[in-house]
Amino acid sequence: MSRPLAVVVLAAGLGTRTKVSVPKVLLPLCGRTLLATVLDTVAELRADRTVVVLHHGKERIEETLADRDGLAIVDQGEPRGTGHAVQVAMEALADFDGDVMIVYGDVPLMTADTLQALRDARGSAGASVLTAYPDDPTGLGRILRGSEGEMLGIREERDCSDAERTIDEINAGFYCYDAAGLRPLLAGLSDDNAQGELYLTDTVFALLDDGQAVVTVAADDPEDVTGINDLRQLSLATQIMRERILLEHLGNGVIIDDPASTYIDHGVTIGRDTRVLPCTVIHSGVVIGEHCEVGPFSHLRVGTKLENRAEVGNFVETKKAHIGEGTKAKHLTYLGDAVLGSDANIGCGTITANYDGKHKHQTTIGDGAFVGSGTVLVAPMTMGPGSSTGAGAIVTRGTSIGEGETYVGVPAKPLRARAATDGGDK
């Protein structure tokens, strides 16, 4: 039987270098926060326990975690270094026996495969340490090795000799320990240093001084260990994550004409043989079937679902819209809080006016309905199967257009009633 696993997520930092008011770990990354991205990755490990260490912005961050079961959230208090953060986390794991992995809430590109490799590598060693070979190691702690490649320690760059600064292997800051072995290491930490903080790296030195083995695992991609300290780094991480998302969809048979201008969030489902045209934005939670066409210049927001063969074209925005099989909305249209049946045609310039200033209301459009260009459908309202509206019609709230009926005019009325009002046929 495999050993139990506890994961400690360090997320108590203030993040002053971002220069924004939102806590750093709540910055957005392709439809998720940084912290949510990390927690989703951690969830793939199926850990027995997960502890999130917070402080700055704790209440605000906790609100975003309310729907996540099984998290233990602890307050570090005034942060005094990574060692101190893990000390606080281990208080919540006082009864835990197994592997303890340390990860960071502001390193969102880390993969579950790399974390699993870090855990697997520890074996009976005192700890395993994740390393990486970035293009530019400036400012990062270097891994010191002996003549046979064994790990000798970690040297912060400010303490490196000129020769040590040429080392291209860095400490990524991710560790895996045995819980029983970690506790005395944490108890032995000292804040006798220039920063007056407790450093988790000192646990590695303690293990080596005690003659215990410390093994290393190199990340396959140095991008995985990229931390987010400012908005420039967030922008770079967003580009990397967006490319990963697009590559996954391409690998699943989705045709993306111009990946460079296509923005797809995490958590989007797209069926094979669907084509996404340039300058399209698709937000998290959207579901698109097979053989659909989306774009160019489409904006699909939360709650949108396209059934097979549906088409959403240029300058069409959707939100909480269920678009039926074979239905088309090709031009300059807003569909919000709407349910559309199959094989309907939505003319250019259609608007579902779903908001009355206080509440949102639903528009229902039946199978085979035809909505004329420039129509405004004021919700709540219903169009029956095979019904239609004339160009420029303003259909007022509460209207129920019957099956096969046609409404025209401002305000829109049934075509026969409108003809009678106008004096009938002449």
DSSP state string for 302-366: TT-EE-TT-EEEEEEEEEEEEE-TT-EEEEEEEEEEEEE-TT-EE-TT-EEE-B-SS-B--EEE-
Catalytic pick among 291, 299, 331, 359: 331
According to DSSP, the residues that pair with 331 across neighbouring strands are 314
b/e for 88-124, b at 16 or more Cβ within 10 A?
Answer: bbbebbeebebbbbbbbbbbbbbeeebbebbbebbee
Q: Please, how many CA atoms are within 13 Å of residue 397, restricted to the half-sphere of its CB?
A: 9
What are 413's two structure tokens?
């009325």
Report the 10 Å Cβ neighbour count for 69: 4
Contact predicate 272/256, CB 8 Å? no
C-alpha triplet 239, 243, 246: angle, nearest 5° = 140
CB 186 within 8 A of CB 83: yes
Question: Residue 313 and residue 2: Cα distance in Å, rounded?
Answer: 51
First vs last C-alpha separation in the chain: 88
Nearest to 393 by CA among 337, 344, 353, 342: 353
Is 283 part of the annotated catalytic residue set? no
Residues assigned a catalytic role: 331
